[in-house]
Amino acid sequence: MRYLLASRNAKKLAELRRLAEGRFEVVGLDDLPPYEEAPETGLTFADNALLKAREGVRFTGIPTIADDSGIAVDALNGMPGVFSARWSGRHGDDEANNRLLLAQVGDVPDEHLGAAFVCAVALVRPDGSEEVVHGEMRGRLIRTPRGDGGFGYDPLFVPEGETRTSAELSPAEKDAISHRGKAFRALIQKLG
Amino acid sequence: MRYLLASRNAKKLAELRRLAEGRFEVVGLDDLPPYEEAPETGLTFADNALLKAREGVRFTGIPTIADDSGIAVDALNGMPGVFSARWSGRHGDDEANNRLLLAQVGDVPDEHLGAAFVCAVALVRPDGSEEVVHGEMRGRLIRTPRGDGGFGYDPLFVPEGETRTSAELSPAEKDAISHRGKAFRALIQKLG
């Protein structure tokens, strides 16, 4: 069985491939002829994941998995949330996004730096059937980035029970506890 | 009777002076010897207003009024909220804050651009008594700034029942409907 992961993020694709190994094949958007991708206009992770997965099926006919994820900071009422990747206004500019988030919480006392990474994963099949699963990883923000692994806000986030940031975990350690790992596993389990 | 408005914002001071005219005198922080102001670490408008008003009384002995206000955008779960003045990371840089907010809602459909200006005003007296009142002005964001009046996010905000932005209203028109005008009037009424 072959699924499309509607993403151009090589690290996300590698993450799903590791989890799906021996079960199914995963191709990414860069493995297929390009189609015009609509902007992510949803206001929830699930909305955006479904939007991208439906689009993938429509253009490719391949059952499509899509995720939307981000960091929900308690002191910011759960924001950046669905805006995580474009928080600074420049989509995918991790450094600018991290810098902005740190500046915004600059005066927030340490005890209010709780946060969670949240992920919604949608699967849409050519027959129109749809599934959505969620995963969450609780933790807290730190004020100085640490680590070279991961992407996005990983260098600013220490998961509960850890002293290292998400960016200091090995890929396998991260898969085991991450929001996306949890959501991907929940989906794979549903697929049997 | 003389009150301190714990603010260095000349436009805010003028706004309160217009409303208080003939009732009481208002001095601003720039009219007094400087004291060291603590950062606004509260996570609600009321917290920050109280924090600033208590500090004013402590350092000056004058009954102190302080406000905290900001814009609460529906699609951002009520943010920028208490972070409105430092949303871009640079405190008081209206242009950078406006630009960032517009970029963040760039892909948000027009029908989800509802927002409100919210204001909390605190009064703390030397005898330790405290009052907090709130005011709100509902409206919606537009995508291109308009108008030279007001400050902060006024050029991006069209109040309910208006076609002009807050920055296109005259000071008197704005006082009549604004979050801060409502909160200031509620406080003045309490003062008898």
Helix (H, G, I), strand (E, B) or coil at A67: strand
Would you call A110 a catalytic residue per the annotation? no
pLDDT in tens, A53-102: 999 999 999 999 999 999 999 999 999 999 999 999 998 899 999 999 99
H and E: helices and strands count for chain A:
5, 6
Contacts of B41 in chain A (CB under 8 A): 107-109
B67, B68, B93, B175: which one is catalytic?
B68
Chain B contact for A175 (CB, 8 A cutoff): no
Binding-site residue ranges of B for substrate: 7-12, 69, 151-154, 174, 179-180
Structure tokens at B44: 């609600």
Alpha helices in A86-170 (DSSP H): 94-104
Question: Has residue B192 got a pLDDT over 80?
Answer: no
Place of tokens 């009052």: B131
Q: Name all domains of chain A by residue range, CATH numbers in brackets.
A: 2-191 (3.90.950.10)
pLDDT in tens, B26-75: 999 999 999 999 888 999 999 999 999 999 999 999 999 999 999 999 99
d(CA A73, CA A146): 18
* Sheet-wide strand order for A25-28: A25-28, A2-5, A64-73, A114-124, A130-141, A157-159
B10-20 vs B179-191: helix axis angle to the nearest 10? 40
Chain A contact for B70 (CB, 8 A cutoff): no
Q: What is the ipTM of this complex?
A: 0.80
Q: pLDDT grade, residue A129 (50/70/90)?
A: very high
Chain B contact for A39 (CB, 8 A cutoff): yes
CB nearest A104 (choices: B77, B78, B89) = B89
Question: Binding residue per annotation — A190?
Answer: no
Q: If you count residue pairs, one on A and one on B, with CB atoms under 8 Å apart, how many are there?
A: 61
pLDDT in tens, B121-166: 999 999 999 999 999 999 999 999 999 988 899 999 999 999 999 9
Chain B contact for A86 (CB, 8 A cutoff): yes
Chain B contact for A111 (CB, 8 A cutoff): no
| pTM recorded for the entire structure | 0.86
Smallest CA–CA distance, residue A36 to chain B, in Å, is 16
pLDDT in tens, A137-156: 999 999 999 999 888 999 99
Contacts of B78 in chain A (CB under 8 A): 77
